[in-house]
Structure 1
């Protein structure tokens, strides 16, 4: 791969996740502070990610894989997305805001697969070449968060009260349009599917891999994956509003510690696989969810700030040790015939079904512990996802049989 192509792919990844990180982290805070949204409404807004994840395979399978170059579809989706983001920037009412956000996420979620397709098409050895390019996506998310807190200071108490958080959508709109036009300069990535063959919806959704659920261990892992998404939804939906409400300064900037941790532990993951195997690595990831929410429950903006920082920093273990290791485990179980279908099934189960349930539960819990003055009983709120994560740990520990003899294949 030439340096020119490497640069273009890295810049594409940077903008792809800069766009998402520009508005997604502060969405709950914005909706509560500026559109007077309830916890249930905020949950409904976050669930657009799940609907986008469910619909995305149809866009990729029915259009991108069969009729048009991936880079052209990527460009078109981001240009339209930029226009939708600009509309959200101007919105003052949740009823008008929600359907536009839903349409945006239906268009954005497929781009996550498209940027991977464009990248892999240029690589001879993806195992070595992809990570140095994909890490620029994490950097993009981090830069977006740091910009919100330390460059523009949109998430200070004064600026949030003045409605400055709406500028996050404007920032995302500008970046989206830039990526949209830049995408047309990316290497050509033509469709590879044979249009003469009849396309099966079951293949698009990954249902061909359902046979893997006949194996007890994979079934236990599959159920655990869905259940652990409930605590994950609490973090996405409530972490930023929680930090802002209790008076933590520069909450969005501090949350980028989680992405830095994610990048670090991604590099350490192979070492943990080799030393501890899949079951212990996955358990460590789930235990980190339990610990994280306990730290959130008992931390505060003053003497307990270090507890909150540790909780944020655990994101790398929480996410990498469960979700990334889970993707690797799924790949090892699927075999050549069902590799794509199995990954599609896990994605649908987690970011689709699991997160949809999680956002719904998180919204109901937030409303349940909402006081008359608009504040929340955060300790009670955080104890619930901690308890759910603890249940998943016990469930997985009891029913997942150790595969230590086979785990060398995952290292």
Structure 2
């Protein structure tokens, strides 16, 4: 059956090895672009004398996730296919990235933050779009998605290694590296599978912008519970990204970057195991294990120090793979399962990005800042340990809520 001008529907698309390779390249470049500048941006800004704006610069991501998801909801629903939207957003975004290095100066610091926000409004929707293209391309074989998504982690790791090898960690030229790959990805987008756009609906522009059809999915109790828990669990995720490096350093670990890289390696290892785990256990156990892992990680941080309990820090970092993959990767698959029968996959993936990388991460940044402000100016390891108990208890409570209220009826919902 043909959807439009030779475009196969997602369920009918053959999941060949060549398709897997093409989508793996997509994910590799998608996250290479982000990782190339995000990891060392704080160091760059501090080096050029605008360290006071680091907080503002790292707030643009969550804000852009919210604004960008509305952009995606409007464009992906009616005006552009996911493939063409990826092309446009990455080509325009690449042009902006080429401009950013000239603004990383004390004289233009504010303009830099504003333009970075504009770039992220374009970039963040492409995270959900990449998921949409991959999931629709695989059709029924969604178990192949975690393997493809693993190449996103490889891209993030590769970007950091290249930036470090080139001696650009403290240079604004990190944006040039990201720009080159962004333009390459925009051009590569023309070769991506031509998956069908969400079916046009007889609705006004306001309904499109507000992703009304995707939000309607939350009338299903299970999906509503998932979205709520995904938002809440993103709060401790933000705290990890913001404060883990400072905590590990306070514990006396000299190679902080190398230590935190253990988490990325763990993420990669578990990503490759996700297809078998998904087939074997289904959605709910994976989501639950992911949330429990967040509670366990912060409990380990709460007891870890630079002495005999140093092992707890390393183990807590290594749990990143379970924390992220078991919830966020499985969550993207679950979202596609619920949204595909309704024809609003792109909107739903954008909405998931809105609630996790947007609302959740923004709340996490604010909650983390409040907890951090309560610590003394020169925090001891004991101060850090006390702070980590808050996200540990919160994650445990979210896991209990999820276990008691969530029921995986996605197969039944897919037939409605």
Q: Tell me which interval the TM-score lies in, with the shorter structure as reference length.
A: 0.7 to 0.9
C-alpha change, 1:202 and 1:144, in structure 2 (3 Å) is: same
**1:67-82 matched pairs, under 5 angstroms:** 69-70=84-85, 72-82=87-97
Deviations 1:72-131 (CA, angstroms, capped at 9, x unpaired): 414422322322442465458864553233223112213334555676787788747755
Which SS does the other structure have where 1:377 is aligned? helix
SS across alignment from 2:333: helix
Distance 1:185 1:273 in 2: 30
Gap change, CA 1:379 and 1:129, over 3 Å in 2 = closer
Runs of 5+ consecutive residues of structure 1 not aligned to the other structure: 155-163
Per-residue deviation, 1:393: 2.1
Quote the residue 1:45 is aligned against: 57
What residue number does 1:160 align with? none
Counterpart mapping for 1:165-204 below 5 A = 165-167=169-171, 169-181=172-184, 183-184=186-187, 186-188=189-191, 200-204=205-209
Distance 1:406 1:9 in 2: 26
Secondary structure class of the residue paired with 2:377: coil
Give the TM-score normalised by the residue count of structure 2. Answer: 0.76
Equivalent positions of 1:11-410 (< 5 A) are: 11-27=25-41, 44-63=56-75, 66=79, 69-70=84-85, 72-87=87-102, 89-90=104-105, 95=110, 97-115=112-130, 127=142, 133-147=148-162, 151=165, 165-167=169-171, 169-181=172-184, 183-184=186-187, 186-188=189-191, 200-273=205-278, 275-301=280-306, 303-334=308-339, 336-337=341-342, 339-340=344-345, 341-371=347-377, 377-398=383-404, 400=405, 402=407
User: Contact 1:142 / 1:259 at 8 angstroms: preserved in 2?
Assistant: yes
The number of aligned residues is 393
1:340-395 C-alpha deviation (Å, 9 max, x unpaired)? 24433333222222222111111222222241589993223322211221221232
- Is 226-235 or 302-311 further displaced after alignment? 302-311
Question: Which residue in the other structure is 2:8 paired with?
Answer: none
How far does residue 172 in structure 1 lie from its aligned partner after superposition? 3.6
Residues 361-370 or 247-256, more deviating: 247-256
Report the equivalent of 1:161. none
Rate the CA distance shift 1:217–1:194 in 2: closer, same or farther, 3 A.
closer
User: How far apart are the structure 1 equivalents of 2:103 and 2:232?
Assistant: 31
> Does structure 1 retain, via aligned residues, the 8 Å contact 2:91–2:183?
yes
Contact 2:45/2:104 (<8 A) preserved: no
What TM-score, normalized to structure 1? Answer: 0.77
Take 1:105 and 1:320, find their aligned partners in 2: how far apart are those partners? 23
Deviations 1:162-212 (A, max 9, x none): xx7432x42242232243156325535689578896554434543324444
Paired with 2:232 and 2:132, the residues of 1 have a C-alpha distance of: 29
Q: Matches of 2:18 and 2:410 in 1, distance apart?
A: 44
Distance 2:108 2:389 in 1: 32
Looking at structure 2, the residues matched to 117 and 333 of structure 1 have their Cα atoms a distance apart, in angstroms, of 13
Q: Is the contact between residue 198 and residue 343 of structure 2 (CA under 8 Å) also seen in structure 1?
A: no
CA distance in structure 2 between the partners assigned to 1:196 and 1:208 by the alignment: 9
- Mark the CA change 1:35 to 1:313 in structure 2 (over 3 Å): closer, same or farther: farther
Contact 1:148 1:252 in 2 (8 A): no
Give the secondary-structure state (helix, strand or coil) at the position aligned to 2:79. coil
For residue 314 of structure 1, report the CA deviation from its aligned partner: 0.8
Task: State the distance in 1 between where 2:144 and 2:137 align.
Answer: 10
Q: How far, CA to CA, are the matches of 2:132 and 2:409 in structure 1?
A: 33
Q: 1:120 to 1:188 in 2, by over 3 A?
A: farther
Q: Secondary structure at the residue paired with 1:249?
A: coil
SS, match of residue 240 in structure 1? helix
Q: Where does the alignment leave 5 or more consecutive residues of structure 2 unmatched?
A: 1-14
